[in-house]
């Protein structure tokens, strides 16, 4: 019997690539997004991928999508919490509503999906929770403070609940992509201000440099393969870096002063 995966944020980028790759590997795929009826993606060419509405900020839509997936395929074996976006720019220029939206989508929505699937996994004797975090959950870049806050939260939350869930054979996996060649720097990004305000000169330099790294980054298909490996694995391995090993190694080896000084110079030059 084929395993079933439910993926949030499947309309583009990593979520789309993961849905297509896991379908190719023989999984039943539930590709969820906020507007499945209007999104014209490659998923529409694959009839046996179940496309459902799921907005991580709407608990009812989470519950409904999970129930429909179980009714269709009998059970769910893995959840991929991928939905998210980046709120970028000077923190001083942010407002509380934008900050709340950032955390609701990237953290509280992920937690709600996780909370809703745990009883199902427990009753089935196991399952996998795959949380897409970021290298930005381990290191930081200028003007990404709010995004970093969410990804560091996902890292800590995931690491903690693995201890709680292990006795029920529920595995928790953290995916840590580095710069990725997706639409992340376009449709998956919002700004605290259009021009950076009083920080405009440094903000433009940092943003241009991050765009440069993004164009040189790994493909979403590479991340999708890592997500598949994590969801399929019987090991209790927690973290799965993708295209970020060099940065993470430097962060581990260098003291704060040297790492932040060198990294800040590269980003802001």
Cα separation, 172 vs 109, whole angstroms: 17
Name the token pair of 253: 């080896």
Q: Which CA distances in Å does 39 have to 56, 83, 205?
A: 17, 15, 33
Q: Are 4 and 30 in contact (CB under 8 A)?
A: yes
Q: Are 174 and 238 in contact (CB under 8 A)?
A: yes
Cα separation, 135 vs 179, whole angstroms: 8
Active site residue 147: yes
The values of phi and psi at residue 32, to 5°, are -110, 150
Considering the candidates 21, 147, 228, 240, report the single residue annotated as catalytic.
147
Cα separation, 71 vs 205, whole angstroms: 50
The residues carrying an active-site annotation are 147
């Amino acid at each position: 019997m084929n395993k079933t995966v439910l993926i949030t944020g499947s309309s583009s980028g990593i979520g789309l690539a993961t849905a297509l790759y896991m379908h190719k590997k023989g999984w039943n795929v539930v590709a969820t997004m906020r507007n499945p009826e209007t999104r014209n993606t490659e998923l529409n060419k694959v009839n046996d991928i179940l496309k459902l509405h799921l907005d991580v900020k709407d608990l009812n839509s989470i519950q409904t999508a999970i129930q429909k997936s179980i009714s269709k395929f009998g059970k769910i074996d893995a959840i991929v919490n991928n939905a998210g976006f980046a709120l970028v720019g000077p923190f001083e220029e942010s407002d509380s509503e934008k900050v709340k939206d950032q955390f609701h989508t990237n953290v509280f929505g992920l937690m709600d999906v996780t909370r809703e699937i745990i009883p199902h996994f427990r009753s089935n004797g196991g399952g996998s929770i795959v949380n897409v975090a970021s290298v930005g959950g381990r290191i930081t870049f200028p003007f990404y403070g709010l995004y970093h806050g969410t990804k560091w939260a996902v890292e800590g939350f995931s690491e903690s609940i693995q201890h709680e869930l292990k006795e029920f054979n529920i595995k928790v996996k953290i995916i840590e992509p580095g710069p990725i060649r997706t639409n992340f720097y376009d449709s998956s990004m919002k700004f605290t201000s259009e021009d950076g305000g009083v920080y405009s000169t440094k903000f433009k330099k940092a943003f241009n440099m991050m765009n440069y790294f993004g164009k040189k980054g790994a493909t979403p298909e590479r991340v999708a393969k890592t997500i598949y490996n994590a969801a399929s694995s019987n090991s209790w391995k927690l973290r799965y870096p993708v295209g970020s090993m060099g940065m993470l190694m430097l962060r581990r080896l260098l003291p704060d002063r040297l790492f932040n000084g060198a990294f800040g110079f590269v980003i802001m030059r």
